[in-house]
Chain A
C-alpha cells in the first residue's frame, strides 16, 4: 500500500511538474555542458554492468556512448546515472538525465501520462519461463499448481498473475526482493518454475549449478519492447536519439562495421555515401542539428547494431542470447530502419 501511495505521489509530481521541464532544448543544454547525462540500470547483466576496471559497459551503455558520439564525435563525453526502477522516471522528468537507456518497457502509460517519448525499440524482450527438465512439462499450460519464483514489484509479477488467471491455472508465487535471491531460491529447488524477461533467463543460466537440468518453455507471455526514452516536447532531441538507433540498424544492413567504416566512405553505393555523409551538399546531419559525419562517428565508437548486440549480450558474450526478434527485418527479425534519404 505504501508503495502504491508513493508511486501515486511520484506520478502526480511528475505529471504536475513535467510541463515546465519539458520545453527546454536538450541538444543545446547538452552541448553547453559538454556531456550527455545518461540514465542506466543499477546493474543488469549484459545491459549495464561494471567491467573489470569498474567502467560501465553493456548494451544500454553502448547506446549512451553512441548518442555522445553522434552529438560530440566523442563517445567518452557521457556521464552515467545509475537509476533504480523507482527512480528512473523522476530522474528523466526532472532533467537529471538527458536520456534514459535503461531497459525500460514502452507502454502507453509511460508514453502519455508520464510524459515521455519512446520510438525505436532497441531490444524486443518478452517474459518467459524456465523449468527443471525433471518436471517433464512441455508447455506453460501444464504448470498448474507449480511454485513460481518471481521478483516482487515488477511487471513480471503482474504478467504472471494475468497469465495464470487467463488460463485458469493455479500457482503458488514464491517472491523475493532481490534478483540474486530469486536466482538462488530457484537453484536450490525452492520452486519449480522461474519467470522473468527472456534476457534475464539467459543470465540466470550462468548462475545455475546445473544449467543442463533446466529448459526454457516456448511460451512468451508478454511483449517487452525496450528502448531509450526522452522527455516529451523536445522533438529535435527525440529525433537524434531515435536516428542513432536507426543508424546502427542501417549500418548493420549495409554491413558497415567499426573496422571498415572509413573504407566504406569510398563505396560507390549512393545509399551508403548518403548515409555516411560523404555525398556532395549532404544535409544528413545538419538537419538533425549535428554534423554530417555523425553516423560515421557513431559506428566508429560502438560498431553497428549487430556488433553491439554480439559484444554485450549475443554470441560474443557469456550470455549468448540469440538474435530472434532482434535480427534485421531481412533476416527473420523485426529490427527495421526507415530509409536514410
Chain B
C-alpha cells in the first residue's frame, strides 16, 4: 500500500464541531418544548405558577409538617384539639399509618400467624416477577407454579386448619391481603373464563351461543355492588338454617364471574378485529377449532386488546373496595374502619389515611398500566 503523500488528503476525520448552543442541550430542549411560540411560553409560565402555588404547600403538609411517629391522637392534634401540636398546626398524620400499618396489610389476621400471608406474598412476588420478564426461560413451569401451585399453597396457608396450622377464618382477613387475593383470583379466573365466554358467544352452536350471551348480558346488566349484596345478604335467607358458606368465598365468586363477563366482551372485540382471511386460512390448513384458535386467532386477537384487558384488570382491582359494603375490609375498608378508633381520631387522620390508601392503589394500578405498555411494545415487533 502506498501512503498518501499529498498534503491535501486528510489522514483522519475532522472532529465534529459541537452543535450551536441554541440547537442543542438544555437550552434547545427548553426552546423547543416550553417556549417555542408565544402561546407555549404563556402556557409554560401559567403551569409553573400553578405548580409553585400547589407543590410547596403540598410538600410542607405531606412531609415537613407531618407527624411521623407517636402513640396516639395527641401527636396529630393541636393543643386546642386536645393534642400536643402548636396552635394552627396542620400536617399529615403518618404516625397513624405507621401504627396501623400491619393492620392495613393483614387486617385482623392473628399476630402470631401473620408470617403465613407474608410468606404467600413473598412466593407470589418471586413467581410473578420472572413470569413478567419476557427473557426469563421456563415460562411453562413458571405459569404452572404461579397459577396452580401457588393457589394450592395459599389455600393451605391462608385459612389454615391443616398440618397443624391454626384455622384463621376469613372474617379476620383484611387489608391489602384481601385486596390482592380478590384481584388475583378475579384476574386469574376472568381471563380464561372470559376467553371461553367470548368464543362461546361467537360460536355457531345456538345453545352455547345463547347461554354465553345470556350470562354476559345479565352479569353486565347488574352493578357489582348488587351482586355482592345479593350474595352476602339474600343468599343465606334462601339456604336452610345452619348452612352457611363463607362470605369471602361468595365475594370471590361474585367478583370473578363479574369480571369474566366484562373480559368476554373485551376479548370478543379482539376476535372481531381479526380479518376473515385468517379464519379461512386456518381452516384451509385443516386445523381443528382449538388449533385454529390457539395458533392463529387468539395470539393476534389478545395482542390487539391488551389495553382493554389491562383496563378491566385495573377496574377489577379497584372494584374490590366494594366488598366493604358486605362487611369485609379490603385495604380501603380497613383504613376507613380505623378512622373510628378514638385513640387516633383527629382532624387530619382521615385525610392521611385516604392519601395512603390512594397511593397504594395508584402504585398497583400504575404498575399494571406501565407493564401493559411494555408488553405492547414487546409484542408489537412484527408491526414495526
A interface residues (Cβ-Cβ under 8 A, vs B): 6, 10, 13-14, 17, 20-21, 24, 29, 42-46, 48-56, 79-84, 86-87, 90-91, 93-96, 178, 180, 183-184, 187, 203, 206-212, 317-319
Contacts and interface: CB of A to CB of B under 8 A. Distances in A.
Given A50-B337, A318-B342, A209 B81 contact: yes
Given A20-B241, A206-B346, A318-B343, A79 B336 contact: no
Secondary structure dominating the interface of A: mixed
Contact of B236 (A86, A96, A208): A96
Contact of B82 (A83, A87, A178, A206): A206
Contacts of A13: 234, 237
B233 A207 contact: no
A45 B345 contact: yes
Contacts of B236: 90-91, 94-96
A29 B241 CA distance: 11
Contacts, number: 132
B350 A184 contact: yes
B338 interface: yes
Given A54-B108, A87-B327, A207 B346 contact: yes
Nearest to A42: B327
Task: For the complex of A and B, list the 10 residue pairs with the smallest distance between their C-beta atoms, beginning with the closest.
Answer: A206-B345, A43-B340, A49-B340, A94-B236, A54-B108, A82-B327, A43-B337, A209-B347, A318-B342, A180-B350
Interface residues of B, number: 48
Given A209-B81, A210-B80, A183 B340 contact: no
A91 B337 CA distance: 20
B238 to A, nearest CB: 8
B327 A84 contact: yes
Nearest to A206: B345
B159 to A, nearest CB: 15
B232 interface: yes
Nearest to B234: A13
A51 B90 contact: no
A319 B342 CA distance: 7
11 contacts: A42-B324, A45-B342, A45-B345, A79-B169, A82-B327, A83-B327, A87-B327, A94-B237, A178-B336, A209-B347, A318-B345
Contacts of A29: 242
A48 B242 CA distance: 26
Contacts of B346: 206-207
Contacts of B109: 54
Given A52-B99, A180-B336, A317 B350 contact: no
Given A43-B340, A45-B342, A84-B327, A10 B103 contact: no
Interface string B324-364: 11110100001011111111011101110000000000000
Contacts of A53: 103, 111
B171 A79 contact: yes
